[in-house]
């Protein structure tokens, strides 16, 4: 199982390399870095958007994943 | 729910987030999503344009699209960009494109795909930021969510099965089509290569998710 996961990881890495994703690390990383003007945020944070009780409860249950 | 429960839940999330390390190629995906999100949320500022102008792709379709984007960023003027963005996206009925999942999947805004997305966001512990009034199924929000799932901005990084599930449900069926529309839009100039980069990236993502074994992958419902 562990081996299969590792194979899968290497296959993905190879696919991304062949697709041209690998050579653009520097500038795309800087340009794509997340910044404050995000439209979505962690629900647990104070004052964040949807705080319906059921949703929040689900979040607390799932926060441990 | 008591405040202390709330606190302990977020501590657990934060602690497991720090424990995980993301592979370099996975981080690169998050950066691509982040870049697309920034370009689609609003017109890029001068500093971001300068950074983009420095991107060098390789000799692949995706790499060449990035080169085109870099070239477009080097020659873009702020004023022309604002006009272009306005013509492309702003105003229901007056913008050329409607970059929302619900619109692409049903032909209408704020339909079932948005409701399903809100449900999934709640499950993932993600909420719309306070000051944002736009529906969550905007392409930029969805790209932000993917970036966050990959790099762990919302607690722990999501595993590939969870990423795939979110991608299949909320981006896989329409995002490439939207990016192609952007490439071909009448008002698009700077946004032509943005559309191309986005379309090719969505294709790469779909191919990479398609390689995963189905074992243990939560299928979209």
Please report the domains of chain B, with CATH numbers, ordered by start residue: 3-211 (1.10.3480.10)
Cβ pair B28:A60 closer than 8 A: no
Tally Cβ neighbours within 10 Å of residue A29.
Answer: 17
Residue A52, pLDDT > 60, answer no
Of chain B residues 43-102, which have a CB less than 8 A from chain A?
Answer: 48, 51-52, 54-63, 66, 70
Looking at residue B8, its pLDDT comes to 41
Cβ pair A42:B153 closer than 8 A: yes
Of chain B residues 5-34, which have a CB less than 8 A from chain A?
Answer: 5-6, 9-10, 12-13, 16, 23-25, 27-34
Looking at residue A26, its pLDDT comes to 67
DSSP string, B32-78: HHHHHHHHHHSPPPHHHHHHHHT----SSHHHHHHHHHHHHHHH--H
Looking at residue A50, its pLDDT comes to 39
Average pLDDT over residues A11-37: 77
pLDDT, tens only, B142-164: 999 999 999 998 888 999 999 99
Looking at residue B40, its pLDDT comes to 95
pLDDT, tens only, B66-83: 999 999 999 999 999 999
Residue B65, pLDDT > 80, answer yes
**Of A8, A26, A60, which has the smallest distance from its Cβ to B212's Cβ?**
A8
Cβ pair A59:B9 closer than 8 A: yes
Domain segments of chain A as ranges: 2-62
Looking at residue A1, its pLDDT comes to 59
Q: CA geometry: angle at A49 spanning A45 and A53, to 5°?
A: 85
Average pLDDT over residues B187-202: 97
| Cα–Cα distance for residue pair B195/B88, rounded to 1 Å | 12
Return the DSSP state at B126: E
Cβ pair B141:A48 closer than 8 A: no
Q: Which residues of B touch A11 (CB under 8 A)?
A: 211
Hey, which of A26-35, B47-56, B100-109, B210-219 has the most confident mean pLDDT? Answer: B100-109
């Amino acid at each position: 199982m562990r081996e299969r996961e590792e194979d899968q990881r290497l296959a993905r890495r190879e696919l991304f390399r062949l697709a041209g994703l690998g050579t653009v690390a520097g500038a795309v990383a800087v340009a794509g870095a997340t910044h404050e003007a995000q439209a979505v945020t962690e629900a647990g944070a104070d004052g964040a958007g949807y705080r319906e009780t059921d949703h929040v409860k689900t979040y607390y249950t799932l926060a441990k994943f | 729910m008591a405040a202390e429960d709330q606190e302990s839940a977020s501590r657990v999330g934060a602690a497991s987030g720090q424990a995980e390390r993301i592979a370099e190629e996975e981080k690169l995906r998050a950066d691509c999503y982040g870049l697309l999100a920034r370009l689609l949320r609003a017109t890029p500022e001068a500093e971001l344009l300068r950074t983009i102008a420095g991107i060098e792709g390789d000799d692949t379709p995706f790499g060449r699209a990035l080169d085109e984007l870099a070239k477009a960023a080097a020659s873009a003027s702020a004023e022309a960009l604002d006009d272009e963005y306005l013509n492309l996206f702003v105003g229901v009925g007056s913008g050329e494109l409607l970059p929302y999942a619900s619109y692409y999947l049903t032909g209408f805004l704020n339909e079932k795909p948005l409701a399903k997305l809100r449900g999934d966001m709640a499950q993932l512990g993600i909420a719309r930021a306070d000051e944002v009034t736009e529906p969550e199924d905007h392409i930029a929000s969805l790209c932000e969510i993917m970036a966050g799932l990959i790099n762990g901005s919302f607690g722990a990084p999501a595993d590939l099965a969870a990423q795939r599930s979110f991608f299949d449900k909320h981006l896989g069926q329409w995002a490439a089509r939207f990016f192609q529309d952007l490439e071909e839009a009448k008002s698009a100039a700077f946004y032509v290569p943005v559309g191309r980069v986005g379309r090719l990236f969505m294709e790469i993502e779909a191919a990479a998710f398609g390689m995963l074994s189905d074992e243990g992958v939560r299928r979209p419902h």
